[in-house]
Amino acid sequence: MENGSSTTSKKWGFKGNEALTKASANSIRTVLMNIMSKIDPQDPRPTIPLGHGDPSAFPCFRTTPVAEDAICDAVRSAKFNGYALQVGIPPARRAIAEYLSKDLPYKLSADDVYVTLGCAQAIEVILTVLSRPNANILLPRPGFFLYDIRAAYTQLEVRHFDLLPEKGWEVDLDAVEALADENTAAIVIINPGNPCGNVFTHEHLKKVAETARKLGILVISDEVYDHLTFGSNPFVPMGVFGSIAPVITVGSISKRWIVPGWRLGWLVTNDPNGILEEYGIVDCIKGCVNISTDPPTFIQGAVPDILEKTKDDHFSKIVNILREVADICYSKIKEIPQITLPSKPEGSMFVMVKLNLSLLENIEDDIDFCAQLAKEESVVFLPGVIVGLKNWLRITFAVDPESLEDGLGRVKAFCERHAKKQ
């Protein structure tokens, strides 16, 4: 051994963070990478990615030239090459406030807006802010994995309430009241729904706000899929009910503009009564973002033009494509008895379907189903257990129509091969 030293006898004072390693093992990206590793490299067919919500790879989902030009103009202006304020540059904060205020009964100010590195950082910030000793948070089941992982990492206790598939995935408000106690800080809702593809009604959202007020908790409303609706229920922002209970809205340009790689999001306080400031939440948010990273300054510099100059025809095009592929998804899945779709998707880019294991042979559970499907058909689904429902599947339909029809056709063939003999 060099210098006569032995690496086996020397003890070092560092070691990996086991909690972080454990948490990342359950992330969507890690699970999907494991499933994709099962794909047969000899299969000449293209892989159909129906497990991850990133439609930007498909030409039919390309973003608007307005957004692309805004980025180029911001870079070429040389005005956005320096550090930004940690809360976000003022023009971006004002533009986001004006954009969100269009759907509210009151006006947001720039001071209500904190520009974040995608919606993911907004989630991390608010969970960190709420993670005082003994605090707990109410999360939906099924839900978005990042809330569970970040809550665990910040030692914020998680309590799950069910979304009810037989009621269009509404919140089980009775369960929410039963779960909450004096240490409950907040309830999380995701609208439009990931992973369920549901859209909450105005009436139901008001009941959520009234329940939050009764319990003395705030509402964290994840609206990253805002306005991506194509069913009977229009999108209603939770901030509409900010006068009933304080609301923290998290969102981004990732989905509506089809640019998840640009990593531009926001955390917004919807609180006309000033409760969040009174209880120190506003100061804590400022403190948290002051010791966090921030999105690139030139992306922030492009935000005003992106939000103000994008034409309605871009949004209509995206919604029309989503409506088309959601219809394809619904009709094709209805042809497969081994998986059940509780309701037709009305928003976002996802749907949850239930596995009928009693109709399948040699399939142990949802993880096994996804692994074997990838190996035999080069189609990728996300096991439902990752989002909170064992033996369910999360499917994204935000791909081009031809790929979706091809992929679900392969799923049908797979299920027919594995169908239990009568």
pLDDT tens, position by position, 339-359: 999 999 999 999 999 999 999
Question: pLDDT value at position 319?
Answer: 98
Q: Which of 140, 183, 130, 133 is nearest to 165 (CA)?
A: 140
Helix (H) or strand (E) holding 394: strand 392-396
Exposed / middle / buried, residue 408 (Cβ in 10 Å: 0-12, 13-18, 19+): buried
Q: Residue 319: which residues within 8 A CB-CB, separation 6 or more?
A: 227, 228, 229, 230
Structure tokens at 280: 């120190």
Q: Which of 251, 248, 285, 244 is nearest to 270 (CA)?
A: 248
Question: pLDDT value at position 1?
Answer: 47
Structure tokens at 197: 């593809």
Q: Is residue 253 within 8 Å of residue 264, measured between CB atoms?
A: yes
Strands (E), 130-199: 136-141, 157-164, 170-171, 184-190
Which amino acid, residue 80? F
What is the edge-to-edge ordering of all strands in the sheet holding 136-141?
A: 113-116, 265-270, 247-252, 218-222, 184-190, 136-141, 157-164, 170-171
Helix (H) or strand (E) holding 335: none
Instruction: Count CA atoms closer than 13 A to 66's CA, side-chain side.
Output: 16
Question: pLDDT value at position 9?
Answer: 76
This prediction has a pTM of 0.95
Q: Tell whether omega for the bond before 246 is within 30 degrees of 0, i.e. cis.
A: no
Instruction: Count CA atoms closer than 13 A to 104's CA, side-chain side.
Output: 24
Kindly give the parts of the chain with pLDDT less than 70.
1-8
Exposed / middle / buried, residue 66 (Cβ in 10 Å: 0-12, 13-18, 19+): middle
Instruction: Count CA atoms closer than 13 A to 140's CA, side-chain side.
Output: 25
52-85 confidence digits (pLDDT tens): 889 999 999 999 999 999 999 999 999 999 999 9
User: Angle at CA 179, nearest 5°, toward 175 and 182?
Assistant: 140
Strands (E), 206-349: 218-222, 247-252, 265-270, 339-340
Q: How many residues does the chain have?
A: 422
